[in-house]
A and B are shown apart, each in its own frame.
Chain A
Amino acid sequence: MALSTPEVLHIARLANLALSPSEVTQLTNDLTAILAHIDELGEVDTSDVPATTHVAVLAMPLRPDVHVPGLSEEAATGGAARVVGGAFAVPRFVEE
């Protein structure tokens, strides 16, 4: 199934990706080709097959519920582009 430009732009919005017009064209073609290959999964009968939702780890561990120190404020915010008053600073995210 061929993807359309509006569909690709919709996915880019969901994924928070600003794309250039040439990237949109390229991705439209790439995703169409990749999905055409992946459509082969349709030939597998999975009507009575449960989904693998997680990989079982033998002997799932438990640890004692004790308090351990976390990162200091300085270490936690040390990699951020903008910090104000010890907090991550971000642009407005509520419509006025």
Chain B
Amino acid sequence: MQALLDLSIPELVERVRSGEVSAERIAQDSLARIDATESLGAFLHVAREATLRAARSIDERRTRGERLGPLAGVPIAIKDALCTHDAPTTAASRILTRRPDLPLDAPDVGAWRPPYDATVVERLRAADALLIGKANMDEFAMGSSTENSAFLPAKNPWDPTRTPGGSSGGSAVSVASGSVLGSLGSDTGGSIRQPAALCGVVGVKPSYGRVSRFGLLAFASSLDQVGPFARDVRGAARLLEVIAGPDPKDSTCSALPVGAYEKACARGVRGLRIGVPKQYFEAGIEPELADATRSAIEVLAKLGAEVRDVDMPHSKYGVSTYYIIAMAEASTNLSRYDGVRFGLRVDGDKPEIHSMYSRTRGRGFGTEVKRRIMLGTYALSAGYYDAYYSKAQKVRTLITRDFERAFQDVDVLAAPISPFPAFRLGDKVADPLAMYLADIYTLPASLAGVAGLSVPIGVTRARSDRPPLPVGLQLMAAANAEETLFAAAAAYEANRPVLPRPPEPGR
């Protein structure tokens, strides 16, 4: 791996600002690393020329004596659910291409080009980041393994026969494989935290409303949040500081000022009250992962945190509650993909609009997206609304109350992210319910709208059936308490055992 790409985000930015290294050199190294790790399927689009142009322009501005932004020369991958005006945006779906019969890199495929940038993309550009490519994902962020990408599955750098998790799998892989120093993903029910854990990187799901969603292709609007991945906690903190904050284009984005997340990383955990929800250690977690999680919490205790048990009795209903609410919202959000304003259009068997709608959507959406639209439509349909949708909204209130009660007594909750490490490609695709249950530990925080973070704690022991695989610790804090989250995660990170690196991928 190239040494430049091994630096932390703050270190790299300092070298670019001082002129010690050029942004162009970093761009070249990053592009070379993307080529060397191409077999992992992290990217749907690599913006070679645009990145080199942007890098040269950053270097020129530095030569002229201009002060560069807080992400100067940092290569960043962007989940393909975020709009980029100068690069295709498909959310890994065929319905945002014109020619579903062609590969994504074919010149005539007609991948959608949004007429604007997402606000978070605009902010990264303004911070002088290098937006090097669009990261692979589960189609419309629906999945936990990146196998639902309409184009290709992403693979785990620790074992390419396994999934990187999802839905922001490409964003996690791009960082874990050393191609970029940071990336953006979106988290609706765990789609940043779970792939971060399975790939051994840091991932942050900010509080609901902390980051603008303007230009994020919507999945479930009461849950979606954009957040960063990075190799270390401080890098993730800097990224979040850049992208967070009020946006006149998103009325669900909080007007609260952005915290000093990077500074909070030096705060330490002395006196911090950490709650351990016992329900998160039930439900079939692998014993080795439960032990690793407890050892990580022990590290925080030795650093001066007060650890106590907390009770969150409604956690176990997270999966059922989430899937009703998320699918109901998805079924309405995805009604916009109808062949009229963007992407695919398939003519109907009759010259009539509903026939065109149905054929376009039948051809353009993949299996999991159809499954969720169908379930959501059912849950909202006459006769079933009260039994499913309305019931789930009430249980959501109880899950939120569990968090409110817990945060009266503790500052941070510490728990596992996933009941198991990275699973094999193909293992759960045929069983949608098994895939949904993989999200059991990340869904409650999403439903409550609180902040969550995944920090690597180590790897599993090598077994005859699997190599060492990364394990993450989930930390959760009340809405808008991201500073506390970064303080705890950075303190842990500075005192954890040294982590190994993933093996070099074959080509």
Contact = CB atoms under 8 A, between A and B. Distances in A.
B318 to A, nearest CB: 11
A38 B479 CA distance: 27
A50 B254 contact: no
B432 interface: yes
Contacts of A92: 351-353
Interface in B427-471: 432-433, 436, 449
Contact of A27 (B374, B381, B396): B374
Interface stretch (B20-28, B41-49, B273-281, B331-339): B331-339
Interface string B97-123: 010000000000000111110000000
A91 interface: yes
Interface string B313-338: 01001011101100000010001001
B370 A27 contact: yes
A63 B247 CA distance: 9
Interface string A28-62: 00110111011011101010011111111111111
Nearest to A26: B367
A84 interface: no
A2 interface: no
B395 A41 contact: yes
Contact of A93 (B112, B352, B398): B352
A57 B254 contact: yes
Given A34-B323, A41-B391, A16 B358 contact: yes
B433 A33 contact: yes
B114 to A, nearest CB: 8
A28 B114 CA distance: 36
B463 to A, nearest CB: 30
Given A27-B371, A31-B378, A78-B113, A49 B248 contact: no
A90 B255 CA distance: 40
B377 A14 contact: yes
B260 interface: no
Interface string B356-394: 111101110101001101110110010000001011111
A40 B320 contact: yes
B374 A15 contact: yes
B251 A60 contact: yes
A53 B345 contact: no
A17 B393 contact: no
Contacts of A27: 370-371, 374
A81 B320 contact: no
A18 B209 CA distance: 36
A81 B301 CA distance: 59
Contact of B370 (A23, A38, A58, A77): A23
Given A16-B361, A37-B320, A51-B394, A58 B480 contact: yes
B338 A88 contact: no
Contacts of A3: 378
B397 interface: yes
B371 A58 contact: no
Given A55-B449, A61-B251, A17 B397 contact: no
Interface string A58-96: 111111000000010001111111100000101111000
Contact of A59 (B254, B351, B433, B436): B254
B256 interface: yes
Nearest to B96: A79
A16 B338 contact: yes
B161 interface: no
A52 B391 contact: no
Contacts of A20: 362
A88 B363 CA distance: 21
B361 A17 contact: yes
Contacts of B157: none
Contacts of B314: 44
Given A58-B480, A79-B343, A15 B377 contact: yes
Contacts of B420: none
Given A12-B374, A23-B370, A55-B222, A38 B320 contact: yes
Nearest to B371: A30
B310 interface: no
Contacts of B400: 52
Contacts of B394: 44, 46, 49-52
A90 B243 CA distance: 38
A87 to B, nearest CB: 11
B507 interface: no
Contact of A31 (B374, B392, B397): B374
24 contacts: A8-B374, A15-B331, A15-B361, A16-B358, A17-B365, A18-B363, A26-B367, A30-B432, A35-B388, A37-B319, A37-B320, A41-B388, A41-B395, A46-B397, A51-B393, A55-B208, A58-B254, A61-B248, A61-B255, A78-B115, A79-B113, A88-B340, A90-B353, A93-B353
8 A-B pairs with the lowest CB-CB distances in the bound complex, closest first: A18-B362, A81-B345, A51-B393, A57-B209, A79-B342, A46-B394, A61-B255, A75-B115
